[in-house]
Structure 1
Amino acid sequence: MVTLVVATTTDPASFGPASALSAMGNWKPGVSFQGIRSKVNGEVRLLEHDKGIVEEDHLDNRWEEVTGEVVEEIIFLSKHTAVSNRPALTIHPIGVPHLKEGDVPPQGGKPGWAAVPSPRMTPWLILLKKLAQSHNLVPEFEITLEATHHGPVTNKPTMFVEIGSTIECWKRQDAAQVVARLVWEGLGIGGGEAVGNWNSMSGNKKVLLGIGGDPGQSKGETKSKDIGGTWKQAIKAAYDATNEGFPGGEIIAHLDHKSFKGWQKKAIMEYLDEQNIKIGKPGDFY
């Protein structure tokens, strides 16, 4: 079972951390295929290509076909953009579950699809904040989770680790070092224990499924029980992917109150109840 860490030379926020990571420890040359190069360190495979980070679909399946190695998870290194231009280090799952069939995803993925989320995300977010503080990036950099909104298409648990939000930040060597250290320690490459192994956890195994966005119509256009948009499809895709990524976990849906009008929230809560999805809040975790 191997982990793929994927970077691209077209993005300084991707190539920078990958270069810093490859300077740590004893990496050896690995398989090259279809324009993709790799380095090997234990059970980790550092892949590098020259396309946009969201363009290489099914990398996990393609790696397995070429090498015979079973891929356990995929971690993409990438840039983050935001209107605020605030420096940030982010972690997030991927997918475009809100798009309907026939839509063209602007940043990869496939309509109505959500990748299986990596169960490492929350533990890594905690570690990321610790590392960022030790490198004096906080409070300049915001450390945050981000919503899913792009591809590429994957088949194994996936997450993105990103540096934002401007080209000056993308090129920051201190930020690149923090991301590299996150991957190094988070995967236990240096011989330590990896961070965020869901299957080894015991006790409280609750998972928060965040729901936000706009169901797509105003109250005057339709009855609340028939609100339009693809919100049902998006919730189901996100729930199914999360359920697969956290086997045996109790999934709790949390609605972002600021994202919905009262009648929209009521309709969504009724749908969640019909699907036997428990409704809760972050406080249910502690």
Structure 2
Amino acid sequence: MELIFLGTGGAWGLPEHRCPCATCRHLRAIGESRTRTSLWLDGPARLLIDPGPDLRAQLMREDLPRPDAVLITHEHGDHYLGLDELLCFRRAVPPGDWQPIPVYATASAWEQIEPRFGYLLGSLLEKRLAVPGEELIGSPFGPALAARPVKTYHGAMAKGAVGYVLTLATDQGPLRLGYTSDLLRVEAPQGFAGLDLLVCQSHFVHEPQENRANHLSLQRALPLLAAWRPKRVYLAHLSCQDFVPGDEPANAILKKYAPGDPLKDPKGEPYPVPRDQASWQALAQRVFADQGLGMPVTVAHDGLRVPLP
């Protein structure tokens, strides 16, 4: 069994096309990139979580088969616009051999998704409801694999936002995995507590003065992680939206967010803003050590495969 990070970037990926900021310039120079965040679980069943606009390339890169079910966290395009790409699986079998793929989302999320992709329902996809706080019902969920949506707040334009906690049956006992997806806060405070592995959003390093995007910063995540105490943490949904000191005039562009009270090291100095995978990983390990968080932290990258017991 394993967890595959199909993508690990924000809504526009990294680097953003023709973005003049220091982060995107650096990523283009070194040839490093991130597609929109999406996950694949190869466990008791094959789950695709958040099929975004990059799904075709992600499926081909990892050579993945048809999923047994799809979980959607909310109704923003970078988390569901790849649903149409799943047609490749139906087009490759005789018509009589096809059974629709179950797709779970909250009722509020379906209000936005169904008008766009209603033509796929009943033929390619089967619409199913995810109710926050309640276990998902229907195959492939059962004794070997359970999934529970956790209600989150991601702003007025994502009223259907949830994360998911998955419980897998293994020879060593239950294994509990969590995915926060996009959020500013959790409406069920203990919803992600006590997990074996947590995939946590880290859209910014420093909490912005005004968090218009309603995304979780690493700074804001730290007290949550201290309370939840997962055994392992993976950071995803990374962006280039932090101010980079001295990067003018790029700091004035729309997507940049000025920090409030920046996250500081024990000497009182703001942590630097990372610009690539290596510097993100070094920063995460440094911050976790400085904060006394004992669990291992990994900054996920596209194509990262995490073996599960």
Pick the TM interval, shorter chain: under 0.3
TM-score normalised by length of structure 1: 0.27
More helix by share: 1
TM-score normalised by length of structure 2: 0.26
